[in-house]
Amino acid sequence: MSGHHISSAKFLWGVALALFVLTFITVAVTWIQIPEPWNIVVAIAIAVVKALIVVAFFMNLWWDSKFNVLLFIMSIAFFLLLIGITLLDTLYRVDPVPSF
Amino acid sequence: MSQPSATEERLEHLKHYFIDSDQQFEASKMGMWVFLVTEILFFGGLFLAYIVYRAWYPELYLLASEELHTFWGAVNTVVLIGSSLTVAMAIRSAQLNQIKGLIINLWITIGLACVFMVIKYFEYAEKFGKGILPGGYYTYEGIEHEQANIFFSIYYMMTGLHGIHVLVGIGLMLWLVYKAKKKVFHSGYYTPVEITGLYWHLVDIIWIFLFPLLYLID
Amino acid sequence: MATNEENSNTKKLQVRRFKPEENPEKHYLNEEKGIWAWMTTVDHKKIGLLYLGSITFFFFVGGVLALLLRTELLTPAQSFIDADTYNQVFTLHGAIMIFFFLIPSVPAVLGNFVLPLQLGAKDVAFPRLNLASYYIYVIGAAFTLFAIFTGGVDTGWTFYTPYSATTSGNVMAMTFGVFILGFSSILTGLNFIVTIHKMRAPGITWNKLPLNLWGLYATSLIQILATPVLAITLLLLTMERLLQIGIFDPALGGDPVLYQHFFWFYSHPAVYIMIVPGFGIISEVISTFSRKVIFGYWAIALSSLAIAFIGFLVWGHHMFTAGQSSLANMVFSFLTFLVGIPTGIKIFNWLATMYRGSIDMKTPMLYAQVFLFLFTIGGFTGIMLGALSVDIHLHDTYYVVAHFHYVMMGGMVMAFLAGLHYWWPKMFGKMYSEFWAKISCAILFVGFNMTFLPQFVMGAQGMPRRYFNYIDQFQSFHQFSTIGAYVMGVAFVIMAIYLVHSLLKGKRASSNPWGSRALEWQISSPPSLHNFHHVPVIVNGPYDYHKPMSEFQLGIAASHNGHHAEEAVSVSQSEKEQA
């Protein structure tokens, strides 16, 4: 729970290495042409993993107070809410883009 | 004024309305996290626009993203992740009272951020040259899709706002270097370094999503 | 969290009673003098007063604009302003009242003043950010005034595209002003969240937090979650005008309904930014003047959070006729009804608090009663508008105007006035004339209902909103409504007179004129510059009226530092002074 977590240099380099590898993978999978929509799923999944690694180990949320974790989760939840409910409209319109 | 109990601690940073350094540090960090929440939702609006139009015009995104160079996008991703690493190392240096290491790491971060912006500049310049300008100024005819301008409007909004955040980050880190040289930071007080680091990592995270969403569609 | 020497959940503190000093020589209003000291102050109380001055100015401007509108509507045809000017006037009335009065009113004025006092803190967590938020507000206001004098804005306060992207007025300056204002709102919310979490005095656990702070906490959460989306919306709108980026422009392949999603994702929760802190005030006032423990503490506290959350799920009920999918219509209509549940819970708990209490009908309590009455009407008519088929008929009519004003003015402004009259003695150390305050409240109540009740009827009969002329059959309604608006104007003039009189010649207020148990009343009126000379210790809830006053004035006896609010405090009262 302490806010003063000190990571070792080795650990930080390890985190960065993992991120570099994931960056390479996300580029590499585009070479093998995964069919729609799985290519999007894979790309987003890798990005999410990368983001979580940054949040947990660079931003030290792993060792941080629970409320800061909650704040982060809350921002993601409300972002998903914004997207989810808007898509309820835009995906289900009879005439997708109203013509004037 | 509160009564500092420790004997040899440096406490000139402690504001009178806080009881101790820990309370002040925790408050500042929570404040930064709250601010990051607002940043996530700020960019969230643009991601929403991206998703809505991608659902409407999937073929547009396929065509338009060919104009973006995956290679340079990937290089920029690596550059930003590298700068995240150096900012984390800078915080570590501050925590260990290594002020020299702190300053060096900050300079490397600033350097990497500048590399990012330079690459971005060349990407923009290349598109401007082709007539891929934002919004109503769009004149490029290489993409056979009626709404091609929409993709690039979203592209410019997202990368442009992200770029502004990078510039702000560079400014903040220059200020940190200035403060560090004046020996303001030490292992008992490095709050500005910590919260600037948090901001910088968020800028990195946003790019981590922008890269596959914009460059890696094909 | 516990970083000090104590590891157990409770700790022993030596406390003694600190009786507040009556009529202090030195207090926050006179300790630092001069304009410069005021303009650069980081004291939360003074920043609250700076905000109070600014919102009073904007309330006056918005109110005058409203009277202009009502005067024009005396006759069915043009009376004295033409259609274009009318459009600008109603746009400015809406934008100024919402963005420059309602949103900052309770959080930035009363919240700023009272939040650290109720927490037993010396200031908010980030005083300089607090001052910055005020200047950001001023800059935003300057841009808005600039927009007014350079072409005006005639889009309505919602800035709907595509009209806002093409109209000739100075929409850019206006939206930029509101964009800047958003940062002020965010900074206030950020400050409050951190302050409530980190700066509570020993003993203020989450279940002893005054309900006003629960209201402000819920509000702050909405502010930080919703306002950034407004910022990006207005930025996109600005880019639409500047570069024709086309995201919201059907001529360029964009979608104007998407703009409405963006806009209402902020602006519906924004309605709760305005009303939820009002709920907090009402809880304080009703408990204080009923001399009774608040009924259903947790129900009221959590229903604030529930309203904040549900407020994010219902934005599409503003768009039932805008062309969104029928699936979205149905979902939004259903979710809208859910808002009624936590709101109803609150109303019932307030009524139960008053039941068999010893009610003292002082001015703040009178405003609280007005609030209960008017807000309930506003709430019920909101349920009508949430019903899909009914809304098709009532959409964009005066029914909506009346509903909105019953909630915002009948609810929020009355709650603000309740809070202003409640904390006025604490703010300035002066009492106001109870007689004139009650007279003014009564006139306001009558004038308000005269103005807005006829609008429900007109709306149901089909009078559309935002029109500067109308068919003859509505004339009597409109005239009645206009007279009511002037009656309200009279009430506000009376209020201004007795409040100014109170400042200049009012009787000195005691430290606790209402006999409240809450922490902000246990220090002198006005408070000293740093609020507390001791570290206050809380052992009872803020509404425990069955316990003696002496138990509410405790503070740490030694100058020991014990500010970790996470622990419950078991207090040994050995050194307690006798009163």
Residues 6+ apart with CB under 8 A from C196: C115, C119, C209, C213, C216, C217, C220
Return the C-alpha torsion angle A51, B218, A85, C224, nearest 10: 40
C229, C238, C260, C404 from C268: Cα distances, Å: 12, 21, 11, 12
As given in the structure block, the two tokens for residue C312 are: 């994010």
Chains that touch A (3 or more CB pairs under 8 A): B, C
> Among B128-137, C130-139, C278-287, where is mean pLDDT lowest?
B128-137
Q: Chain C: residue nearest B153 by CA?
A: C245
The partner residues of C397 in beta bridges, in order of sequence, read C464
Residue B157 contacts residue C245 (beta carbons within 8 Å): yes
Confidence band of A36 (pLDDT split at 50, 70, 90): confident
Closest by CA to C46, choosing from C57, C32, C56, is C32
The answer to whether residue C573 scores a pLDDT higher than 80 is no
The 10s digit of each residue's pLDDT in C512-540 is 999 999 999 999 989 999 899 888 999 99
Q: What share of chain B in percent tops pLDDT 70?
A: 95
The partner residues of C15 in beta bridges, in order of sequence, read C556
Instruction: Return the pLDDT at A3.
Output: 59
B79, B101, B114, B175 from B170: Cα distances, Å: 14, 18, 8, 9
Q: Chain C: residue nearest B6 by CA?
A: C4
Answer whether B84 sits within 8 Å of A82, measured CB to CB: no
Alpha-carbon distance C309 to C272, whole Å? 10
- Whether B107 has its CB under 8 Å from any CB of chain A: the answer is no
Chain A nearest-CA distance from C526, in A, is 35
The answer to whether residue C562 scores a pLDDT higher than 80 is no
3-state class (DSSP) for residue C540 = coil
Chain A nearest-CA distance from C258, in A, is 8
DSSP C207: G
Alpha-carbon distance C11 to C3, whole Å? 13
- Whether B51 has its CB under 8 Å from any CB of chain C: the answer is no
Domain boundaries, chain B: 39-215
* Percent helix, percent strand, percent coil in chain C, to nearest 5: 65, 5, 30
Nearest to B31 among C123, C126, C225 (CB): C126
Per CATH, the number for C11-522 is 1.20.210.10
Residue C555 contacts residue C15 (beta carbons within 8 Å): yes
Alpha-carbon distance C290 to C361, whole Å? 9
Secondary structure of C21-90 as H, E, C letters: CCCCCCCCCCCCCCHHHHHCCCCHHHHHHHHHHHHHHHHHHHHHHHHHHHHHCCCCCCCCCCHHHHHHHH
As given in the structure block, the two tokens for residue C25 are: 């020589």
Mean pLDDT of C302-308: 95
Query: Which amino acid belongs to residue B182?
Result: K
The answer to whether residue B37 scores a pLDDT higher than 80 is yes
Mean pLDDT of B130-155: 85
Mean pLDDT of B131-142: 84
The 10s digit of each residue's pLDDT in C460-504 is 999 999 999 999 999 999 999 999 999 999 999 999 999 999 999
Burial C161-186 (b: 16+ CB within 10 A, else e): bbebbebebbbbbbbbbbbbbbbbbb
The answer to whether residue C157 scores a pLDDT higher than 70 is yes
Instruction: Return the pLDDT at C319.
Output: 93
As given in the structure block, the two tokens for residue C262 are: 């963006």
B176 φ, ψ (degrees, to nearest 5) = -65, -40
Mean pLDDT of B160-188: 95
Alpha-carbon distance C380 to C440, whole Å? 27
Instruction: Return the pLDDT at C575.
Output: 36
How high does pLDDT run on average in chain C?
Answer: 90
Chain B nearest-CA distance from A4, in A, is 8
The answer to whether residue C559 scores a pLDDT higher than 70 is no
Residue C133 contacts residue C126 (beta carbons within 8 Å): no
Answer whether A97 sits within 8 Å of C253, measured CB to CB: yes
- Whether A38 has its CB under 8 Å from any CB of chain B: the answer is no
The answer to whether residue A90 scores a pLDDT higher than 70 is yes
Q: Provide, as residue numbers in chain C, all residues whose Cβ is less than 8 Å from the Cβ of B26.
A: 198
Instruction: Return the pLDDT at C564.
Output: 45
Alpha-carbon distance C542 to C210, whole Å? 6
Answer whether C127 sits within 8 Å of B136, measured CB to CB: no
The 10s digit of each residue's pLDDT in C24-59 is 888 998 888 888 989 999 999 999 999 999 999 999
- Whether B27 has its CB under 8 Å from any CB of chain C: the answer is yes
Confidence band of C10 (pLDDT split at 50, 70, 90): low
Chain C nearest-CA distance from A76, in A, is 10
The answer to whether residue C67 scores a pLDDT higher than 50 is yes
As given in the structure block, the two tokens for residue C180 are: 């800047």
Answer whether A92 sits within 8 Å of C328, measured CB to CB: yes
* Interface subset of C 32-61, CB within 8 angstroms of A: none
Instruction: Return the pLDDT at B74.
Output: 95
> Among A92-96, B212-216, C247-251, C353-357, where is mean pLDDT lowest?
A92-96
Q: Provide, as residue numbers in chain B, all residues whose Cβ is less than 8 Å from the Cβ of A23.
A: 74, 77-78, 81, 211
Instruction: Return the pLDDT at C21.
Output: 87
3-state class (DSSP) for residue C536 = strand
Nearest to A88 among C250, C254, C327 (CB): C327
Answer whether A30 sits within 8 Å of B218, measured CB to CB: yes
3-state class (DSSP) for residue C556 = strand
Mean pLDDT of C176-200: 95
The answer to whether residue C3 scores a pLDDT higher than 50 is no
Q: Chain A: residue nearest C322 by CA?
A: A98
- Whether A68 has its CB under 8 Å from any CB of chain B: the answer is yes
Answer whether B134 sits within 8 Å of C239, measured CB to CB: yes
Instruction: Return the pLDDT at C185.
Output: 95
The 10s digit of each residue's pLDDT in A42-67 is 999 999 999 999 999 999 999 999 99
Residue C267 contacts residue C158 (beta carbons within 8 Å): yes
Residues 6+ apart with CB under 8 A from C371: C278, C282, C410, C411, C414, C415, C418
| ipTM entry | 0.91
Burial B90-112 (b: 16+ CB within 10 A, else e): bbbbbbeebbebbbbbbebbbeb
* Percent helix, percent strand, percent coil in chain B, to nearest 5: 75, 0, 25
- Whether B23 has its CB under 8 Å from any CB of chain C: the answer is yes
Instruction: Return the pLDDT at C519.
Output: 93
Nearest to A23 among B37, B52, B77 (CB): B77
Alpha-carbon distance C375 to C372, whole Å? 5
Interface mutation target, options C133, C161, C190, chain B, most CBs of B under 10 Å: C190
The 10s digit of each residue's pLDDT in C426-466 is 999 999 999 999 999 999 999 999 999 999 999 999 999 99
Per CATH, the number for B39-215 is 1.20.120.80
Instruction: Return the pLDDT at C566.
Output: 40
Instruction: Return the pLDDT at C149.
Output: 86
- Crossing angle of helices C414-428 and C44-72, in 10° steps, is 140
Chains that touch B (3 or more CB pairs under 8 A): A, C
B76, B176, C457 from B113: Cα distances, Å: 9, 15, 62
Residue C263 contacts residue C158 (beta carbons within 8 Å): yes
* Interface subset of A 38-97, CB within 8 angstroms of C: 65, 67, 74-75, 78, 81-82, 85-86, 88-94, 97
Confidence band of A96 (pLDDT split at 50, 70, 90): low
- Whether B77 has its CB under 8 Å from any CB of chain A: the answer is yes
Confidence band of C560 (pLDDT split at 50, 70, 90): very low
Nearest to A88 among C251, C258, C328 (CB): C328
- Whether B42 has its CB under 8 Å from any CB of chain A: the answer is no
Answer whether C261 sits within 8 Å of A86, measured CB to CB: yes
- Write the DSSP string, C297-327: HHHHHHHHHHHHHHTTS-GGGG-TTTT--HH
Alpha-carbon distance B53 to B75, whole Å? 27
Alpha-carbon distance A75 to B36, whole Å? 9
Interface mutation target, options C184, C192, C193, C194, chain B, most CBs of B under 10 Å: C194
Across the B:C interface, residue pairs with CB atoms under 8 Å apart total 127
Residue where the block lists tokens 């009558």:
C446
Taken in order B184, B186, B190, B193, is the CA torsion positive or negative? positive
Closest by CA to B89, choosing from A9, C175, C130, C42, is A9
Answer whether B36 sits within 8 Å of A72, measured CB to CB: yes
Query: Which amino acid belongs to residue A53?
Result: I
Answer whether B205 sits within 8 Å of A27, measured CB to CB: no
Question: How far from chain centre, in Å, is Cα C184?
Answer: 15
How high does pLDDT run on average in chain A?
Answer: 88
Answer whether C229 sits within 8 Å of B44, measured CB to CB: yes
Burial C338-374 (b: 16+ CB within 10 A, else e): bbeebbebbbebbeebbeebeeeebbbbbbbbbbbeb
- Whether B164 has its CB under 8 Å from any CB of chain C: the answer is no
> Among C152-156, C415-419, C421-425, where is mean pLDDT lowest?
C152-156
